[in-house]
Amino acid sequence: MNKIKGVKKISGEKDDIEKLNQIINFCRDNYNIAHDKTYSLAKSGIEICEKLTLSAEKNILETYLAFFLWHNNEPQKSLSIIYSISEKLLANKNYLEFSLGVIITSLIEWAKGEVELAFNTINQAFEELKNQENTKVAIIRLNWTLGVFYFDLDEIEDSLRHYQLSKNSLDHETDFSVVAYINIGLATVYKKKLELEKAEKLFEEILVYSQTNNIWMVEARSYHELGMLEQLKENFDKAYRLFSKSYEIRLANNARPAMVTSLISMAQIDIVKKNFSNAEIKLLQALEISKEKNLKPKTSILMLQLSGIKEEQFKHKESLYYLKKHYELEKELKNVIKNNKNAYLQLNYKVQKTAKELEREKELSLLKTSFVSTASHQFRTPLAVIQSNTELLLMLLSKIDNNELERVKKVTGRITGQIAKMTDLMEEVLVLGKLTSGNVHYEAKELNLLEFCNVLIQQFNAIQEDGRILEFKIIGETYNVKLDSKLLGHTLTNLISNAFKYSVGKENPELTIHFKAKEVVLSVKDYGIGISKNEQLHLFEPFYRADNATDIKGTGLGLSIAKEYVEINKGNILVKSILGEGSCFEIIFKR
C-alpha cells in the first residue's frame, strides 16, 4: 500500500547533474505521496545545487521542502521558504513549483482565518500567470484551491464551477494527486447536493485510482467518504468496516489529524449500537490528538459526544463538565466563523459583484465621463469668447494714451492669465475623467529608454528661459523595457516640468535611469522648495497642492494623473523630499 512504484534507485555514483534531474523528477511526481523520501532527497539535491551554484534548481527543491514542512504542521517555516523563493520561481518560469507555493501559502492563511488574504493570494497568482505559456497544470491547481475555499464557505455552486474548470483541463495529467483531489472535490460537492449516487460512483473510482497509483492519503479519504455514504443509508456494519480501513491506513502513515476523523466516525457507529465503552475509548484517543494538534473544531465535537456518553452512563457531573467545555469552544469558534464569513462577504462585495451591479457601475462610469467631457467643452466656449473679446478690447484701445493703455493691459493680462489657468484645468479634468472611467488606451511595446529620454531632454532644454538644463545620468547596463511610451512621456513631462517650476534659481534638475537586474528606476530630482512629510501623504490626491506651492501656477491634478499613468503602465511611483532642500520622484518598473 505504501510502496512507491516506478521510482528508479538514485545512486551517488551517477553524475551530479543526472542525479539532480532524477531528484527533481522524483519530487515532482511524489511530493504528495512520499513525504519523508521527498524531504531527504530534496535536501541532498540542494547540496548538489549549492556545490554547482545552480540557484534555479535549488529554488525548485526548496518548494518541496516547504511542502513537507507544511504537511508536518510547521506552517511558519514553510511560509518563510515560500516567501523567499516565490518571485524567483516565477521569474525562472517554474510554474509547477510557483503554483504549489501559492497553494501552500493560501491554505495556511485560510487555516488561520485570513479569508481575504487567501483569496487575494490565488487571484494575484492568476494575474501573474496570465498570458504565460506552459501554465496549464498551475491553473488547474489554482482552480482546485478555489474549489476548496468556496466549499468551506458553503458556496457550493462556485465550488462546483472551479472543480469542473480543473477537471475539464485534465488532459493526460501525470500528477496523480492533482487528479485525485479534483475528483474528491467534485464527489464531496455531489454529496453536499445530496446527489448520492453520483458521489458514490465517483468515490469508488477515486478509490481504485488511488490504489493503482499508491496515493495512501486519497485511499484513506475514499474509504472514509464511502463509509459516510453507507452511514447515511444506515448500513452501519459496512460503514464501520470502511471507517476502520481508513483509520488503518492513516495510522500506518502517522497521519494524526486525519486519524481523529476516522476515530470520531467509528465512535458514532459504536454509539448507534449502544457500545458506549468502545466509543469512549476512541473519543478519548481522538481528544488527546486534537489537543496535541490544537484542532479546536474537532475538540468541540468530541466534548459533546463524550458528554452524551457520560449521560448515558448516568455520570451527570462528568457529562456537565464536557458539555460546558463544548459550549465554551463553540462560542469561540462561532466568533471565528462569523469573522471569516464577514471577511468573505466583504471580499465578495469587492471583487465578485453581480452582473446587475456591474452593468449599473458601467452606466455610471459612462455618465460620469459624458458629464466631465460636456462640462469641460461647455466651459471652453465662454472662455474662448472672453479671450477673443479681451484681444478685441486691446485693439480698440490701442490709440488711447500710453499710460491708460498700460493700465488696461494689466487688467486684460490678468484676465488672459486666468483664462489660461482655467483652460489648463479643463484639459486635466478631461484626462482625469478618462482615467477614472478606465478609458485610457494602453499599448506596451519594446522601448529604448535611452533614446526616448534623450529626445525628451532636448525638448525641455530648448525652452528653458533661465539657461538651466536637465542633467541626465545612466546607472547600470542598459536594456529595452516593455512600456506604453505615450503614458511614460506624459508622466515624465509632468515630473520634469514640476522639477523646473519648483526650483527656479536653483541647481539644474536631474533625470536618472538606473538599470537593475529585475527592475528599472527612473528618478526626477530637483533642488527646489521641497515638500513637508505630512503633505507627502496627500501629494497624489486630485486637486491637492502643498502650502508652499500656492503661489506657483498649477491645478493640483498633474501628480494625480502622473500616478495613474504609471500604474496603468504597471509601475509604481514614490516621492522622497526634504522641505527647503528639494524633491525626488522615482518611477519603478519591473523588468
496-548 tens-digit pLDDT: 988 998 888 888 999 999 999 889 999 999 998 898 888 887 788 776 767 76
Claim to verify: residue 365 and residue 485 sit in the same structural domain: no
In angstroms, the Cα distances linking 211 to 53, 167, 208, 257 are: 40, 20, 5, 22
Q: List, for residues 261-310, the tens digit of each pLDDT value.
A: 999 999 999 988 889 999 999 999 999 988 887 777 788 888 888 888 88
Instruction: Give the C-alpha separation, 507 to 529, whole Å.
Output: 12
Residues 538 and 580 in one domain: yes
User: If we measure between CA atoms, which residue out of 455, 431, 452, 389 comes closest to residue 555?
Assistant: 431
10 Å CB burial of residue 269 (0-12, 13-18, 19+) is buried
**585 shares a domain with 450:** yes
Considering the domain boundaries, does residue 296 fall inside one?
no
- Examine the domain organization and report whether 428 and 480 are in the same domain: no
* Grid cell listed for 60: 525548485
Q: How far apart are CA 129 and CA 314, in angstroms?
A: 61
Residue that wins the pLDDT comparison between 405 and 60: 60
- Residue percentage of the chain with pLDDT more than 90: 32
| Domain annotation covers residue 412 | yes
Residue 391 shares a structural domain with residue 486: no
> For residue 398, what are the domain limits?
355-436
CB 311 within 8 A of CB 321: no
Beta carbons within 10 angstroms of residue 405's beta carbon: 14
SS3 per-residue string spanning 498-535: HHHHCCCCCCCCEEEEEECCCEEEEEEEECCCCCCHHH
Residues 407 and 455 in one domain: no
Alpha-carbon distance of 571 to 564, in angstroms, equals: 10
- Note whether 455 and 583 are same-domain residues: yes
432 and 499, same domain (yes or no): no
On whether the CB atoms of residues 509 and 496 are closer than 8 A, the answer is: yes
Say yes or no: 407 and 478 in one domain: no
Q: Are residues 567 and 462 in the same domain?
A: yes
What CATH number does residue 432 fall under? 1.10.287
- Domain assignment present for 430: yes
Sheet of 519-526: strand order equals 471-475, 510-515, 519-526, 582-590, 571-578
In this structure, the answer to whether residues 363 and 456 fall within a common structural domain is no
Kindly state whether residues 375 and 429 are assigned to the same domain. Answer: yes
389 in any annotated domain: yes
CATH of the domain at 492: 3.30.565.10
At 93-143, the pLDDT tens digits run 999 999 999 999 998 888 777 888 888 889 889 888 887 888 888 989 899
Domain boundary among 404, 436, 468: 436
For the residues 164-186, what does the mean pLDDT come to?
A: 79
The last residue of a domain, from among 386, 416, 436 = 436
Residue 217: pLDDT over 60: yes
pLDDT at 88: 93
Residue that terminates a domain, selected from 436, 458, 491: 436
Report the C-alpha gap between 429 and 501 in whole angstroms: 21
Question: How many structural domains does the chain have?
Answer: 2
The least confident of 41-50, 56-65, 200-209, 355-364 is 355-364
pLDDT of 342 strictly over 50: no
